[in-house]
Structure 1
Amino acid sequence: MPADTAIARRIVTPEALVTASRANDRTATAYTNLSKQDLAKRNFGQDLPYLLDQTPSVVVTSDAGAGVGYTDIRIRGTSNTGINMTINGVPLNDPESRGAFLINLPDLASSINSLQIQRGVGTSQNGGAAFGASLNVSTLDNRREAYAETQNTYGSYQTWKNNVSFGTGLINGHFTVDGRLSRIVSDGYMNRAASDLKSYYFAAGYQAKNTLLKFITFAGREKTYQAWNGVPEPALTGNRAQLQTYIDNGELSEADAARVLQEGRRYSYYTYGNQTDNYQQNHYQLHLSQGLGQSWNLAAALHLTRGFGYYESYRARRKFADYGLNNVVIGGQTITRTNLVDRKWLDNNFYGGTLALNYQPADGKLQATLGGAWNRYDGDHYGEIIWAQYASNSQLGQRYYFNNAVKTDYNAYARATWQVLDKLGIYGDVQVRHINYTIDGLEAGRRDVTTRASYTFFNPKAGATLSLGQGQQLYGSFAVGQREPVRSDFTDRPVGDQSARAERLEDFEGGYRLNRPELTFLGPRTAVRFEANGFYMSYRNQLVATGQLNDVGTALRTNAPRSYRRGVELSGFVSADDRISLSTTLTLSQNRILDYQNVTYDANYAPVIDVRARTTTISYSPAVVSAHTLEGQPLKGLRVALLLKTVSRQYLDNSQNENRSINPYQTLDFRLRYALHPVFMKEIELGLLVNNVLNREYVANGYTYSYVGASGNQETFNWFYPQATRNYLASVGLKF
């Protein structure tokens, strides 16, 4: 046996560091695993959600319309604020908003070794609870051979992606160094929706017989022209009478309306030249995996995330009083408003540690993990005036609000699987999580946002699996997830109102799996996989989107006392001799709020609560989602694929009113990759991705609000995020 092979078999592998948070066939949960190769097939520079578009129950959307810049993902109708995301077991979700803003980590997919999507509550995770799904990312792969790679993409809307990656391989059987530099720029499909994204990744590792130590740092810097307002409905319909309603009620100026007619579905609300979002996020992680005999290993991590940045906005006719400034007197005239430019800043640190003790004996009958984490977030929010038409008593860069938020989150959990019989296994998982959250100071508009909140959650989970032989399995599980409200649930309510309540989810999952890598009656290399998963997610006090946004594009939410999501997820894959394959997913679901009372607004913008309580569909929750990929290899090294995506109607609020909804849509993409292996390098790969081949005009996201308008009638104003028509991305990849 070669010496390096012997070393490789003795050392603790990187997988030990992610074992604590990953699901497997014994945990009786619904999950999808994606390898580095799976992600690379779709990785042309679009954000990570677009690489997950073909997985079950997923809907993706892009503010700029083409998948570069601000993007979002929903799984089972739950936005990214309800999707727990970790990188190497370290929480990525912002502790306050709960969002995982992947724009801050452009081209992260190029450094991912493996990714697991758990749907439903899933296993106990570090960070916030999973209320629709969790994304568990690992970048911990150790490549044994030295390598150098580059990928370069050009496409529609002046989209460019350039990256270089390198690694030393295993040096002296112990050391590894890996790195990546990336740049992605795009003008965006929408007018004035450009993105300029830069990132790096660096890792240095040491491994020995029973020890793996790895330091990882990665960062992203983004400058993105703000496209989060979307476009008004008349930009899509061309309805001039409808457009006049927007003008009459002050939703659009005459100049805005003229641009709506001129720009159509690519209209951008903003015209100020530097209406941009500017943010940088630096991550530092130190991981240790230590073998403790034949059956035990310890995985631990320390982490720090440093984030800072601002978005800059032009504000017309703002009251001096809202900025803490004096009115201006010129002659005998008192001026109470001014045009100005402000910057709203975030400056935060998120740090802590995670720990997991894993028991994995050789016979594999009992596997157990005892783990936990302690994390602390300390973030400043403040606003500065950088220009004003009338300066009043302001100074350059004057702060007009400031507040500090501190959030401490710690949890402990224990999980075990036990193979009771040869065909029967049981699973148990309990977690205790405690959160303290405080905000002190003023928000924009001089609003006092002082907040004091504390929560303790107990989240049990249990399941069982039954093997039917020949790669077949039945499974069932029950899990409880609880989570705290997010920042905007406190700060966007009236002063002193801290009535936002914690949510509780009881999740029932059950299904059937078939995995046959070779079926001889179809051919010696025919592979078949199939899964049917049923779910029932019962909520108490679920925070559901009202359809409205606050002034920075965050969805406003309200507690629904009782609601549920139930449905079935079907997924299958068949591959014949690796020449042709078909993968397909279909989700059919009902997503309902019970006894819902709709809220509208009167002429004075006071809320009016509907006296009728009824059962309605939860906003942004389509009843049908499907994805299908047909891929063939007509020539050696040439892979051609068609990707079909279908999403049914989505309602913008909880009134179940089709006049406030996103129409169903279906898109077809085409993908081609051709790999050559010349003698002077490992590989040259040419790629082409044509999105929306059928040139459909569709929208994937939006928001709405209604009030008594100038006509004296209830008026509804819908805003949408149009997605790009037919567009392409072409790439050249080189591997040395």
Structure 2
Amino acid sequence: MSRRPFPIPPLSSRPLRAALCLVLFAASVPAQTPEADSVRYRLAPVLVTGTTATERETPVTFTDVGRGFLTQRYSMQDVPVLLAEQPSMISFSDGGNGVGYNFIFLRGFDQRRLSIMVNGVPQNDPEDHNVYWIDFPDLLASASSVQIQRGAGSAFYGPPAIGGSINIITNPFTPKPYTRLEAMAGFQEFGDSSRPLAMTMRKLSASFSSGLVNGNTMLYGRVAKVESDGYRIHSGITMGSYFFGALRIDGAMTTRLHLFGGPIEDQLVYTGLPKFVNGDRKLRRMNLSYWEFDSARTGYGYAAPRRPQETERFNQPHYELINDWAVSEHVRLHNTLFFYDSHGWFDYDASRADAATLRVDSTYGFAPSAGFANAIVRGGVDLVQWGWLSRTEWDHESGQLTVGGEYRYHHGSHWGQIRHAEGLPANFDPDYRFYQYDGIKHMASLYVTETYRADERTTVMLNVQYAFNEYSIANERFLGHSFSVPYHFINPRVGVNVNLDERWSAYASFGYTSREPRLRNLYAAEDAYFGATPAFEADTAGGSVRYDFTRPLAKPERLLNLEAGARFRSGSAMLNANLYWMEFSDELVKSGEVDVFGNPVYGNAPRTRHIGAEVEWGVRLLPWLTAQGNAALSSNTIVDFAAVDSLSGGTVYRTSLNGNPIAGFPDLLGNLRITAERQGASLSALVKYVGPFPTDNFANASNRNDAYTVVNLEALYTLPFGVGADLTVRGEVRNLFDRLYLQNGEGEAFFPAAERNYLIGLTLTL
């Protein structure tokens, strides 16, 4: 978990100063007096971000998830679970039931390689690139749309989009006022116990919209509480949630202020289980901190249950100020300021660590103490991140020119404390920190995009991005490692869209993008107390180690991406089909090992390849009956990579993985949804198929997640009463046929999905 002191950073980097100057120049457009517009017109630009693709214009492979889908399908599951029925996407949940820590994969890439945004604001953690969806719980209740772009270089803010990008747009403001109350309860079947059905999930929420006040102001607010006991033992979570927004219209300018987030409290569950547990309804629910096979590999030789004290607390408020200004008929200026101020910790089992490992022995000035054991340690993080995103759009005679950029700053203070242990030294200070360091990152980018209309049917898009990212480690206690590593990237992309007629269009694009490694790929400083060292070239002459911090071992990933597709849309049907080819250099792939927190360990593969075909379709069969679905066929292959197999006598032995499939994603997956709607009632069935896939890169037949098919049912009925008031009743059955399946895995460790479970809910709108 990479989760602050708040010094304003010096602009010490010459490229950084230059980037900021260019962004300021791009934003300095002479003001002109705008013509008066309708309220409806002025609200529209607020919804658009610098990464939004448009059908029949933008040569990008993308899927839009609209307000109607979100309203009907969202209840209390996290974002990855809801989006997992979109093309080339799968998800999994640590706790098994889709509430808590959830993860999403797109085209074989985990969420670290996706650019995740809310209103265009980056959400990937700057240090480890991960996305902590639980930091903004219940956000989809305030979302108006989600756009998923597949392919490289599709986002110009935040980390480069290797596999694609996901942009969640929150626009909960409505012209008419309302008050909404919501209550939901989830029930889980447990085949291992005397309580066959138990309430395990609860949600209460209240929201309001002021409507349009004084012709220029709208207010919105929502508060909620979501609780889940989890499917696995001791995997519960409690999440508070809030979203407050204000929108003001001043002539041709709209300004929005958002505050959203929510404190979380959860029990740790991050260790996968051996495959043999899947068919046992008791064993598959275990929450272990460590386990080993027996000699026959059909049972446990050793298993350590997770301790009840292993919990987490975290809170990350998000502040956004978004301004859109139609400077003239042809020029628009968009600026976003954001700020996160985050604090939290997680307590975890360190019973395998002795006093020397946790730096409480005589080496560190402590009196010797016998019987040190059973430690619980706390990993803490205090984070600050803020930034400015800006872009200027100019509509000219032949198209549109967009110039934009960003500057973001991140400062994370990481520390560890001993919360409990037997045999602690006398007069031990509970605030003593056995590790502490600061992770810092400067991020800046500039981009230029030209969308050129070659003729009435053809649009050509040309864009290029310059990205600057600089990692720093500072103030490391005990070891004193300190370094800064800058990265400079140029990411170009070109594409063309041709509208063949009123229904058919086709597109093709070619992009190149690069991304820096994670900070822990350079140095896992939080793990240094048990042996992690900087991953840089080193000189050991004279018996001491001297690191060359200008020469990191982990290389940036570089990707060439070719996309081609066609789209069809009529009044009753739609079809999108596309092919992609993604050629990697130095892709960071799973080595087959995991770290102490169950995360996969990565290494650079000189060459890997992802190719595939995707199809997405929908049709209205009858006025009240629709069918929609998607399918993806892909091949994700290591072309050139030799993994470290063993070390002996100073000799490194490697195993060639050439031709092996890349771990973590199926070659075949598909979704089918049938929906019937009539007179306020809706019944929908989702069938999801996920093919088998390896969980390591070594082509080990036993390390393979088996294929599964799961069926979910959803029902809605809305009963109107009074003027503008209604009551909606919701019912869901997930895993209708009670399949026992594994969602994902890391090497020999797998994550079981929950058994059949149910949800009922009431929503009252006044």
Same fold flag (TM > 0.5): yes
Which of 238, 245, 251 is the equivalent residue of 1:209?
251
- Please state whether the residue corresponding to 2:175 is helix, strand or coil: coil
| Deviation, structure 1 residue 59 | 0.4
Aligned to 2:487: 455
Aligned partner of residue 50 in structure 1, secondary structure: helix
Change (3 A) 1:260 1:223: farther
Offset of residue 284 of structure 1: 0.6
Q: Which residue number corresponds to residue 407 of structure 1?
A: 441
- The answer on 1:82 being equivalent to 2:113 is yes
Structure 1 residues 63-102: Cα deviation after superposition (integer angstroms, max 9, x where no partner): 0000000000000011110110111111111101111110
Say which SS state the counterpart of residue 324 (structure 1) adopts. Answer: coil
Task: Determine the C-alpha separation between the residues in 2 that align with 1:17 and 1:687.
Answer: 29
Q: What do you get for the CA RMSD once the two structures are aligned?
A: 2.6
d(CA) in 1 for partners of 2:132, 2:656: 38
Q: Deviations over 1:341-381 (max 9, x none)?
A: 211001010001010111236x7x51221111000000001
Give the Cα separation in 2 of the matches to 1:455 and 1:692: 46
Query: What residue is the counterpart of 1:242 in the other structure?
Result: none
Provide the rounded CA distance (Å) in 2 between the counterparts of 1:116 and 1:169.
26
Q: Is 1:487–2:519 an aligned residue pair? A: yes
SS of corresponding position for 1:12: helix
> Any idea what SS the aligned residue of 1:610 has?
strand
The reply to whether residue 651 of structure 1 matches residue 690 of structure 2 is no
CA gap 1:381/1:13 in 2 versus in 1, 3 angstroms:
same
Q: CA contact under 8 A between 1:22 and 1:123: conserved in structure 2?
A: no
Amino acid at match of 1:377: H
Pair 10,698 (structure 1): closer, same or farther in 2 beyond 3 Å: closer
Tell me if 1:390 matches 2:423.
yes
Paired residue secondary structure (1:730): strand
Amino acid aligned to 1:735: T
Pairing 1:206-355 to 2, within 5 Å after superposition: 206-236=248-278, 251-252=291-292, 270-326=305-361, 335=370, 337-355=372-390
- Any idea what SS the aligned residue of 2:134 has? helix
Partner letter of residue 379 of structure 1? G
Counterparts of 1:56 and 1:597, CA distance in 2: 32
CA–CA distance in structure 2, aligned partners of residues 53 and 219 of structure 1:
23
1:638 & 1:661 partners in 2: Cα distance?
A: 41
TM-fit CA distance, 1:554: 2.7
Residues 632/252 of structure 1: CA separation in 2 closer, same or farther (3 Å cut) = same
Matched, 1:103 2:103: no
Say whether the 8 Å CA contact 1:376–1:407 is kept in structure 2.
Answer: yes
Distance 1:208 1:578, change over 3 A: farther
Q: Which 10-residue stretch deviates more, 315-324 or 287-296?
A: 315-324
Report what 1:31 is aligned to: 62
Cross-structure match for 1:724: 754
1:476 aligns with 2:508: yes
Q: For residues 128-185 of structure 1, what are the alpha-carbon distances to aligned partners after superposition, in whole Å with 9 as ceiling and x for unaligned?
A: 0111110111113531111111222101241011111111011011011101101110
1:692 counterpart residue number: 735
Matched, 1:591 2:670: no
Higher alpha-carbon deviation: 638-647 or 491-500: 491-500
Shift of 1:448: 6.4
Does the residue aligned with 2:127 lie in a helix, a strand or coil? coil
Q: Deviations over 1:602-649 (max 9, x none)?
A: 699x9964354521111102100111101112x411111110111111
Q: CA deviation at 1:304?
A: 0.4
User: How far is 1:314 from its partner?
Assistant: 3.0
Distance 1:530 1:316 in 2: 56
Q: Is the 8 A contact 2:372 2:422 kept in 1?
A: no
Amino acid at match of 2:718: A
Aligned to 1:623: 667
Of 5, 8, 13, which residue of structure 1 is paired with 2:43? 13
How many residues end up aligned between the 2 structures? 684
d(CA) in 2 for partners of 1:428 and 1:317? 55
Matches within 5 A, 1:666-677: 666-677=709-720
- Look up the match of 1:610: 654
Residues 37 and 252 in structure 2, CA contact (< 8 A), matched pair in contact too: no
Tell me, which stretches of 5 or more residues in structure 1 are unaligned?
1-5, 240-246, 262-266, 518-526, 705-717
Report the more deviating stretch, 10-19 or 109-118.
Answer: 10-19
SS at match of 1:725: coil
Q: Distance in 1 between matches of 2:723 and 2:648?
A: 73
**2:541 matched to 1:506?**
no
Contact 2:224–2:242, Cα closer than 8 Å, also in 1: yes
How far the C-alpha of 1:658 sits from its partner, in A, is 1.8
> How far did 1:8 drift?
3.0
Deviation at 1:36, TM superposition (A): 1.9
* Partner residue in 2 for 1:198: 240
User: Which residue of the other structure, out of 526, 539, 555, is the alignment partner of 2:600?
Assistant: 555
Contact 1:318 1:337 (8 Å CA) reproduced:
no
Range with bigger deviation, 422-431 or 678-687: 678-687
**Contact 2:153–2:160, Cα closer than 8 Å, also in 1:** no
**Inter-partner Cα distance in structure 2 for 1:360 and 1:142:** 28
CA distance 1:666–1:268, shift in 2 (3 Å) = farther
Match of 1:37, SS state, is helix
User: What's the CA shift for 1:15?
Assistant: 3.0
Superposed CA offset, 1:182-235 (max 9, x none): 111011111111011111000112102211111111112111111101223343
Q: Structure 1 residue 260: deviation in Å?
A: 6.8
Residue 582 (structure 1) shift: 0.6
- Kindly indicate whether the alpha-carbon contact (under 8 Å) linking 1:223 and 1:278 is maintained by their aligned counterparts in 2: yes
Is contact 2:382-2:413 (8 Å) kept?
Answer: yes
Change (3 A) 1:122 1:269: farther
TM-score normalised by L of structure 1: 0.88
- C-alpha displacement of 1:680: 5.7
What is the identity, as a one-letter code, of the residue corresponding to 1:142? Answer: F
Cα separation, partners in 2 of 1:437 and 1:462, compared to 1, 3 Å: same
Taking the aligned partners of 2:647 and 2:265, their CA distance within structure 1 comes to 39
Which of 94-103 and 678-687 deviates more?
Answer: 678-687
TM-score (norm 2): 0.85
